[in-house]
Amino acid sequence: MKKIITTLGCIVALCLHAQTVTTDNTFGTNGISVLSHQTNGNSVINSIVQTDGKIVVTGMRINGANNEEVFTARFNANGTLDTTFANSGYFTSYQDPNAYSANLYLNGNKILIFYPEQGVMIKFNNDGSIDNSFGTNGMITLASTSYQTKDVLIGNYLYAVKNVSSQVILDKIDINSGSVISSSTISGLTQSRGVYSGPNGKLIVKSTNYQSLTTSITLVDTDGNLDTAFGTNGSMVVSSVGSLNELEHTYDYISTDDAQNIIYALSNDNAFTVTFKKYSSNGSLATGFANNGSYVLANAIISGLKTLSNQIYFSGLSLEGGTANLLLGRLNSDGTLDNSFDNDGIYIYNTNASSEWAESFNILSPSSIIVAGEISGTNNDIYVGKFDVTPDLAVSEVDSKESIWFENPLRSNFVYKTKEKISVIELYSAEGKLIKTIKENNQNITELLKGVYVAKIKFENGNIVTKKLIKNYL
């Protein structure tokens, strides 16, 4: 596995040009770990990565008795099943035949699962045991069971939307007590299809009009009040299709980048195309993005959309060559394919022995991505894969012997030594979220929790180095 790292010894820091995407062969078997339990084709596999690098996966499967079963499992950071979690790696105590959607959140050292369509919240301790201080035996069933499948966690509050009597209600749920502390009716909306994190701490509510065959987004604050400066009176149409059948086979994905722009993607299962758009925080279409504000990817559908450092990442399925294979891709902030990402902006994982696709992905850092999904064979098995984004060797290499050294594990201050001038140091969580920008040597970092971090060091000469760091002290 090739990585740019720093140590006390002699290392070659490479100028970043093209980057090759490969499986991380230190993870699982050749980069892939398979749970030998088939899915029924309807389950949405979801995943999240803890600060210690362990991966929690949830969904629905067919168990050994040939029955549908809701499950949660955890993998170690090396791809092996974590048998210390719950019951030999699996939690299966909660069952509902219709629990096809589950959303995962980290709450300190706890793990929270929300089944929106059932209105059920379950909280685990870090070892997978039930948190008995939460609800009854670690579970709370909310009064409403009509929540849409996408919700947002901000701090200690979960925001979810439900459709009630031609009205859209935004519920604010305290995840410590499991109680709904406020319910707000969103003006002008009669139905919704989910809520997403929006720009400047606000929320994006997605809705579909089945008469006009259009999809709209509405910007509200956390109390459900419209941001009337956004679009037209708080809402704007982001997509339209030609038929009801097409509408029922399209799926929307929304993310907000570091510059507070809204990234929207429409995946069309009928046409096998994905359309990407970019909007400013006030709802204006970014006409400089791709082709007059829109980029269309052919022969693909996606299941996930994320942003990191203003670049746009997506995962899903490619149909190049007529077979289904796992797809990872990256767009630049201007809507063009990032040709430094596996040479053409698209990576396709193809074993030639089966079809595989992504249903969930997590960016650990700019150089590492975790994917969870299904892989076909005799059955559609559930898998987790780890992929490295590795810089290729540039024609000219820079000898950076002892160019930078870190105190690692980290303590209360971020300490380093360097012989080269640094432009910026960015510190990322294991999930790929920018946690902190280091502005000076010996900077206080006592607020950082224990766990694994990735430092991205940008030198003034243009070189970039990444380093995996561990914080064991508070």
Give per-residue pLDDT as tens, 121-169: 999 999 999 999 999 999 999 987 789 999 999 999 999 999 999 999 9
Mean of the pLDDT values across residues 415-435? Answer: 83
pLDDT, position 14: 34
**Helices (DSSP H) in 131-184: which residue ranges?**
none
Q: What percent of the chain has pLDDT over 70?
A: 88
Question: 12 pLDDT exceeds 70?
Answer: no
pLDDT band at residue 225 under the 50/70/90 scheme: very high
Q: How far apart are CA 390 and CA 22, in angstroms?
A: 8
Q: Please give the average per-residue pLDDT across 273-280, as a whole number.
A: 98
Long-range contacts: 223-226, Cβ < 8 Å, 24+? 223/182, 223/184, 224/170, 224/184, 224/185, 224/186, 225/184, 226/186, 226/187, 226/188
What is the pLDDT, as a whole number, of residue 143? 84
- Facing residues of 355 across strands? none
**Least confident range of 60-74, 106-120, 243-257, 382-396:** 382-396
pLDDT digits (tens, 9 = 90+) for 1-11: 222 223 322 32
In this prediction, residues 84-103 reach a mean pLDDT of 90
pLDDT of residue 7: 30
What's the chain's average pLDDT? 87
Q: What is the pLDDT confidence band of residue 55, given thresholds at 50, 70 and 90?
A: very high
Domains and CATH numbers, the chain: 19-391 (2.120.10.30), 400-471 (2.60.40)
Contact 313, 342 (CB under 8 A): no
Confidence of residue 467 (pLDDT cuts 50, 70, 90): confident
Give dist(CA 366, CA 358) in Å, integer: 18
Residue 133, number of CB atoms within 10 A of its CB = 10
Question: Could you tell me the pLDDT band of residue 332, with boundaries at 50, 70 and 90?
Answer: very high
pLDDT of residue 43: 66
- Quote the pLDDT of residue 474: 57
Residue 391 has pLDDT above 80, yes or no: no
> Which pLDDT band holds residue 395 (cuts at 50, 70, 90)?
very low
pLDDT: which is higher, 474 or 303: 303
**Cβ–Cβ < 8 Å for 367, 466:** yes
Structure tokens at 238: 């982001």
432-465 residues labelled b (16+ CB within 10 A) or e (exposed): beebbebeeeeeebeebeebbbbbbbebeeebbb
pLDDT score at 322:
73
Among 47, 49, 71, residue whose Cα is nearest residue 60: 71
Identify the weakest region by mean pLDDT among 187-196, 226-235, 256-265, 375-384: 375-384
Place of tokens 């149409």: 237
Segment 84-96 mean pLDDT: 92
Residue 69: the pLDDT is 83
Which among 110, 94, 102 has a CA at the least distance from the CA of 50? Answer: 110
Q: Which of 102-111, 174-183, 372-381 has the lowest mean pLDDT?
A: 372-381
For the chain, percent of residues with pLDDT exceeding 90: 62
**pLDDT given for residue 353 in this prediction:** 65
Q: Is the peptide bond before 409 cis (omega within 30 degrees of 0)?
A: yes
372 CB-near residues (< 8 Å, 6+ apart): 45, 46, 47, 55, 57, 358, 359, 360, 361, 382, 383, 384, 385
